[in-house]
Structure 1
Amino acid sequence: MVIPRLGGVNNKAGTSALGGLHRQRRWDRCGPILLPGEESFQLFTEGDNLYAAMLAAIRRARRGIALESYIFADDEVGRSFADALAERARAGLDVRVHLDAAGSLFWASRELDLFLKKSGVILRWFHRWHWSQPMRYNQRNHRKLLVVDQCEAFLGGFNIHRENSRRHYGEHRWRDTHLAMTGNLARQAHAAFESLWRGCHWRATPESDSPSAVLLPNKSAYCAHRLRCVFAAMFGSAQRNIELTTPYFVPDEWTLRALGQAAERGVSVRLLVPWKSDIAPIDLIARRIYGRLQCRGVRVFGYRTRLLHAKTVSVDDDWVSVGTANFDYRSLFLNHELNLCARNRQLAAALKVQFEADLVNAEELGANWPSRQIASRLLTPLAWVARRWL
């Protein structure tokens, strides 16, 4: 789905979070550059379409490729990416790949590692286990980012593995969301990659007039939990509706309070989560959290058809966020994440269409949600205590 170029949107809600709009355009070696206020996006919800677009971008690269992924599997999808990256590296391009050592632990292989390195790809594993620094293993690089020639960028929830491919995995493929971006946002994506590659917090140069679309890490030189603050501001400024999709919903009290207060002042708040999580303790904690929100007017829906892995937010059909961050302690406070936060009605409209389509395959959580077994009731307090590390 292609989201056409969009000019400035006049909406005062939430202007403190991202600010005013630019309406400039210029040219450079990447072609026409759409500065903030004239962004264009391409939305992907099918892995086969996304992977085809990413591979095509890699193959036409002429200067450099930067890729981050939490999971990079040695399977049909992963090998197609490895071949494309290796070919560009052998052609003399600067090809750098930053993979999470824990996320890819049971997915990648030594053969894949050696193949990439022998082909000239500069491969780095984020935070491998080492006895001298055991605590750093708990902090992961959860980002999924591809930047080609600093002109094209792809960001979202899709990892590189067959579980997202209908062709290879079938009808039960994971349900996810990703974006393609160009111009200034691609350069922001490259800066974000460089910062983590060099092991430092991103020090983005402040704009003279805040843009309508920015890429935000959850950690920066100015704020240790930046995304949490932006989400709270978006929820606090909501006037009509909030639509949130996330596979793991174990947020902090501040975020819960912002959502509950929005519902109490008449905002339609709808939360889409998996009917059954792939991480068992999440289900135990979720029952406690969902009940608190439902009492305040938040509607919670469980997606039943496939494994839900998308991470999107839409507020008032105007403000949106798409990226790698889940609504849990690990994403908001611990791991490295990256999200697009933007004011764009057409992108918001596309996300709303997808949200409504997902609701067709979901059921509102309530009386029909399976009752808890005795063992679950006993384990719930333990899961709640451990929620910050899940």
Structure 2
Amino acid sequence: MSSTGCLRLLPALLCLAQLAACSVLPTLVPDMAHNPPPVALDGSNGPLSAARSKAILERLQASGAPTHIFDLHLAIEESISGSPLLTGNRVDLLQDGPNTYQAMLAAIDAARDHINLESYIFDGDEVGQRFAQALIARQRAGVQVNLIHDSVGTLGTPQAFFKELSEAGVQIVEFNPVNPLTAKAGWEMNQRDHRKLLIVDGRIAFLGGVNISSVYSGSSLRLGSQADPEQGLPWRDTHLRLEGPVVGELQKLFIITWAKQRGPPLLARHYFPPTEPRGKEVVRAIGSSPDDPYSLIYVTLISALRSAQSEIWLTNAYFVPDPQLLATLKEAVARGVDVRLVLPSSTDSWLVFHAGRAYYDELLQAGVRLYERHDALLHVKTAVIDGVWSTVGSTNLDWRSFLHNQEVNAVVLGSDFGEKMRAAFRADLAQSREITLATWQERAYQVRAQELFARLWEYWL
């Protein structure tokens, strides 16, 4: 497709986004009373009920061919409308800040046509300067660089930092500016762009939980190493490097956000080059936005959880479950699924930390196994279900991610990648302490008071 043709896709992409808002599904807006009316999400675009999941499995079994757990999750995923499931992708798992930055900077340095970068945090520190200088170097070499940064996420970044990028020719969009006078697309203070997405030449993409900040300078993979007292605990996070047809879907998400925020016209580049198979992974790119009637990431996760047969292993930095997610996890345990969560023991968000802990008692009584990692600041947002359904992205398991933020995740189907995810989960588990019901019920009354206070704010956290 020509560059001009790609740019002509902008109105069509925006039209698709508007059509999504016409869905018959109700908006997912829980209230603070924790007793919202049941939300009927068993429509063609909603998460599948246990009955629909069972019907799909029975249909697969009726075909006469042996039915494996992969067949079930593939059928479930295909039943959810939205972005397509795409084959022929290569997916590399990145589990450390320094390793992730090395891979990202290598891709940037090799760029020949364009670089699209979307990041919640882009600090002006040592790591931020490394990225800025790499982007400026490619811009001066004729590679067009387009940058979206969230206004709240970059509040601490000096304006001179972005001015230097802009003066070099980098096109910049500040997502939902804190100052309403500078907003070009309406103003909603509570809506934030929490995505971490890098696309190079329309052929390579990175996504996950890693922001651009020196907090990731210390390695979280050197298990047992002592934290630098000046740096504090090393940050533990997960990112993906992707090649193949799925990169085009991620490119669409970037372009739609750019257009909605009324960024300057994108200069003609080969944003959608011809795609070729780069691997064997089956991947779906999923974006969510508070402008949508519901979060497709939430819908997809709930469907996968309801369909789990043996394992649900979740690792998440900010865990404040809404009533439906809480019930789904408890129901999974009741039907014999091994449900485990690795969560942080310390955090950069006091309120979120204690709001999530307020649910420990209920989860432990239901049989969910909870672990807290102690030797690193956990910032991971991943899940692996039955060893064949995996997701990595920017989405936390809290109300903010599902209701107020722009997020992006990739779902990867297959046992090969699933085993890598299971290995990563077990590695985190080895560095974590299990929270038992007996010990948790002995916690101090001061801790209980903190949980009650934090839970009052969970909708807005």
Amino acid at match of 1:102: V
Instruction: State the distance in 2 between where 1:238 and 1:215 align.
Output: 21
Using a 3 Å threshold, how does the CA distance of structure 1 residues 77 and 222 change in structure 2: closer, same or farther?
Answer: closer
Aligned to 1:383: 454
Equivalent of 1:183, from 244, 252, 269? 244
For residue 29 of structure 1, what is the aligned residue in structure 2? none
Residue of 12, 21, 45 corresponding to 2:71: 12
What does residue 435 of structure 2 align with? 365
Instruction: With the length of structure 2 as denominator, give the TM-score of the two structures.
Output: 0.73
CA–CA distance in 2 between the matches of 1:344 and 1:14? Answer: 9
Equivalent AA in structure 2 for residue 40 of structure 1? R
Secondary structure in 2 matching 1:49: helix
1:326 partner amino acid: N
Q: Is residue 101 of structure 1 aligned with residue 172 of structure 2?
A: no
Q: Distance in 2 between matches of 1:174 and 1:308?
A: 6
Q: CA deviation at 1:170?
A: 6.4
Q: In the alignment, does 2:89 pair up with 1:39?
A: yes
Provide the C-alpha distance between the structure 1 equivalents of 2:400 and 2:291, rounded to a whole number of angstroms. Answer: 19
Deviation at 1:379, TM superposition (A): 4.3
User: Where do 5+ consecutive residues of structure 1 fail to align?
Assistant: 1-8, 21-34, 201-210
Structure 1 residue 212: Cα displacement? 3.4
Counterpart in the other structure of 2:134: 84
How far apart are the structure 2 equivalents of 1:297 and 1:309? 25
What is the one-letter code of the residue matched to 2:256?
S
CA distance in 2, matches of 1:281, 1:172: 19
CA distance in 2, matches of 1:257, 1:368: 23
What residue number does 1:138 align with? 190
Which residue does the alignment assign to 2:274? none
Please name the residue that 2:410 is paired with: 340
Q: Quick check: which has more Rg, 1 or 2? A: 2
- 1:66 corresponds in structure 2 to 116
- Quote how far apart the aligned CAs of 1:69 are: 0.7
Tell me whether 294-303 or 213-222 shows the greater mean CA deviation: 213-222
1:383 positional shift: 2.0
Could you report, residue by residue, the CA deviation over 1:186-243 in whole angstroms, capped at 9, with x for unpaired residues? 111111111111118xxxxxxxxxx931110123987521111111100000000000
- For residue 7 of structure 2, what is the aligned residue in structure 1? none
Letter in 1 for 2:110: R
Query: Among residues 112, 119, 122, which one is paired with 2:171 in the alignment?
Result: 122
Using the alignment, how far apart are the partners of 2:252 and 2:78 within structure 1? 21
Unpaired segments ≥5 residues, structure 2: 1-67, 80-84, 220-227, 262-280
Asked whether the 8 Å contact 2:290–2:406 carries over to 1, the reply is no
Task: Say whether the 8 Å CA contact 1:13–1:238 is kept in structure 2.
Answer: no
Aligned mate of 1:236, from 306, 325, 336: 306
Range 133-142 or range 173-182, more displaced? 133-142
In the TM superposition, residue 363 of structure 1 has moved relative to its aligned partner by 0.5
- How far off its partner does 1:275 sit? 1.3
Cα distance, 1:166 vs structure 2: 2.2
Whether the 8 Å CA contact 1:18–1:212 is kept in 2: the answer is: no
RMSD: 2.4
> Equivalents in 2 of 1:49, 1:251: separation in Å?
31
Q: Distance in 2 between matches of 1:370 and 1:175?
A: 28
Percentage identity across aligned positions? 34
Deviation at 1:47, TM superposition (A): 1.3
| 1:48 Cα deviation after fit | 1.3
Q: Is residue 197–residue 207 contact of structure 2 (8 Å, CA) maintained in 1?
A: yes
Q: Which runs of 4+ in 1 moved over 4 A?
A: 131-135, 167-171, 220-223, 367-376
Q: Is 2:218 the partner of 1:166?
A: yes
Separation in structure 1 between the aligned mates of residue 322 and residue 211 of structure 2, nearest angstrom: 26
Change (3 A) 1:118 1:170: same
